[in-house]
Structure 1
Amino acid sequence: MEAFFVVNPVAGSGRARRAWNRLQDLVGAPLPSSLTRAPGQAVELALGAAHEGYPLVVAVGGDGTANEVVNGLMQLPPERRPAFGQVSCGTGNDFARNTGIPRRLETWLRLLREPHLRPLDLGRVNGRYFLNITGVGFDAEVAHLGGQLPTFIPGTFNYMVAILAQLATYRNQLMRIRVDGRSWEERCLLVAVGNLPHCAGGLNLCPTARADDGLLETVVVGDLTRSEVLRVLPRVFPGTHVRHPKVQVLAAREVEVDSDAPLHWQADGEVMAGLPARLDAHPAAIQLLAPAAAAAAGLPQAAQRQAEPSLPRHAGRAR
């Protein structure tokens, strides 16, 4: 399958550049590509490749690079939109973890030579598309701080350092939440809205989110004390934090989160300022180059959830 590669050479503290050079060595010839030189440029490069008629545009980098490439491709109407792929070599690599995209380059090349495409849902927040998770509150403030830490600190460890630092200063905030027309106010640690389960280098924050059901998984983590946060945090890795009585999970097509506090929001690890955060689901928005097993996966759970939007998947307390 003919592909154009958008390469972020500084992703993963230079791992992306090394992976890109190795990939071309394995192919034995130069591949059509452009290298980014500034944040945000992957959007333009992906859009340019689409206008040139490439049927597949591949992000070489981490989740931030993938996010930018998708936002470039989504500027085109569906009938002109190329498929999307990723060579995952960033810091957190959550999109590859979520979708089964192989990290080994030799295996990834087989994927390119024997391509399988599957439709992929996307989320959108304030006009920006996201692949994994958007969060407001504690996780976004952690991501904001983590972005200021040295880039040589690995993804999950970076997140843990930022978590420990924020635990000393962060205060739960009163948030106004609307999920498919149902509204309430609650003091929250965070609100996470997931198209896929993992973020921050492996945290299973939205454990039952799937990008093939047309819905977003909304995880509302209520007014946890610091000691409760410390007890719940290890449970985020296996995804069992959603069993805590102060956590509720809802499936939704549209979500809005607002607060009077000066909070950030993050989408795929990219931090933005300014609430409210208005989110909506975009079913089957783009075709993904994926392993055959993922491309052929059945959707029995998705069909059930599409029939039951905005119902709690796990409600810590009734409202």
Structure 2
Amino acid sequence: MDEARPPAFRKTGNSLSPTALSTPRYFVLFNPAAGRGRGVRRKARYLKLLSVALGEFDYEVSKEPGDLERLTRQALDSDYQRIVAVGGDGTWSLVANEIINSGRTDVSLGLLPAGTGCDFGKSLGIVYRHPDKAVAALCSPDTRFIDVGRVDGRHFLNVFGCGFDIAVIDDASGFTRLKGDLLYQYCAVRQLFRFPGVEMTIDCDELRSDSGRRLMLVVANGRYFGGSFDIAPDSSLTDGYLDLVSINDASPFGRMRIFSDVGAGRHKDGEKIQMKAVKSVSIGFESPPRYELDGEVYQSEAKIITIDCVPAAIRVHSVF
């Protein structure tokens, strides 16, 4: 059933309440669940920064699963031109999907970091430790269209990943004390000695039917991945290509060397790593795989999945 068009909104302070007469230009969406509470802790600071930078804006706070998508659709229906998502990669991705699916190329996405993983923001100069710069980027009239990836009808801003990174995400979900980059780095070290590897076949124009056991496969739109890994140093958000990074399996100590090389940016010439710029790639598995898009895990229904690039799919604000 189609959602009913929401009523107009009225500003009450800087929050949304129904029955309004006018619609402000900016809509800011907070995800309090982002970063295991970072979204809540950053709310007051961002509201202060936004009030100074923007003056008038509306905001809402998601309260339950599905709210991010629903509130974004409401903002689109109410003709907001700038939708700002406060959270991490997962939050940004969910909001971006709604904007892309709406076909509204006049709407721009602003990113304010408050999540566990904010890897995509780094490709736009938006980092957690400089919230003031992220807010300042929202004030600029200059925006740019960027590419996104697509798989199983879903879009991703930063990366598609399968294999080792799924094991790390699963491992990280069991921790409550560690957070952010440190959490993922710790879990990555643990999984170096535990993860069994995955059999897969890669098929694309640049690399035909390459089968074997992989430690991990990443299809990157953004440059950074897993907290601090510069996984795709040659990536561009505007070239119409995704960067395929295939890492062959190795012994635990061989894996340590691989990730040491990745962390230091030496992996482009590694014998265990293949890197290709692709417009589309199909990956075959022995059984339907689990994969992640921007840190959110999904279960495929098919043994073969196809990832492709959607050029100039969404307008974003960036620091540079």
TM-score interval w.r.t. the shorter chain? 0.7 to 0.9
Aligned to 1:284: 312
For each residue in 1:133-172, what CA deviation from the matched residue of structure 2 results, as whole angstroms up to 9, or x when unmatched?
A: 111111222222223322x412222212322332333222
Give 1:3's aligned residue. Answer: 26
Q: Which 5+ residue runs of structure 1 have no aligned equivalent?
A: 295-319
2:282 to 231, 256, 264: 256
Answering whether residue 243 of structure 2 is matched by residue 217 of structure 1, we say yes
Secondary structure of 1:237's counterpart equals: helix
- Distance apart, 1:12 and its partner CA: 2.0
Deviation at 1:30, TM superposition (A): 7.2
Which of 163, 169, 172 is matched with 2:194 structurally?
A: 169
**SS of residue matched to 1:169:** coil
Question: How far is the alpha carbon of 1:127 from its aligned partner?
Answer: 1.3
Aligned residue for 1:233, secondary structure, equals helix
Deviation track 1:200-239 (CA, whole Å, cap 9, x = no partner) reads: 2121122221111010100111132222101121222233
Q: What percent of counterpart residues are identical?
A: 30
The residue type paired with residue 127 of structure 1 is G
Does the aligned pair in 2 maintain the 1:58–1:87 contact within 8 Å? yes
Question: Structure 1 residue aligned with 2:210, among 184, 191, 200?
Answer: 184
Q: What is the number of residues matched between the two proteins?
A: 290
**Does 1:145 pair with 2:165?**
no
Amino acid at match of 2:27: F
* Residues 259-288 of structure 1, C-alpha deviations (whole Å, 9 max, x = no match): 115642111111112243321101110111
Give me the whole-angstrom Cα distance separating, in 2, the residues matched to 1:68 and 1:125.
14
Root-mean-square deviation (Å): 2.1
The residue type paired with residue 7 of structure 1 is F
Q: Distance in 2 between matches of 1:51 and 1:84?
A: 15
After the TM superposition, which segments of 4 or more aligned residues of structure 1 sit over 4 Å from their partners? none
In 2: Cα distance, 1:156 partner to 1:206 partner = 18
With normalisation by structure 1, the TM-score equals 0.84
CA–CA distance in structure 1, aligned partners of residues 298 and 204 of structure 2: 21
Q: Which string of whole-angstrom CA distances, capped at 9 and with x for unpartnered residues, describes residues 108-143 of structure 1?
A: 333223332011111112111111111111122222
Structure 2: tracts of 5 or more residues without a match: 1-23
- Equivalence for 2:40: 17
Distance 2:205 2:64 in 1: 37
1:195 aligns with 2:218: no
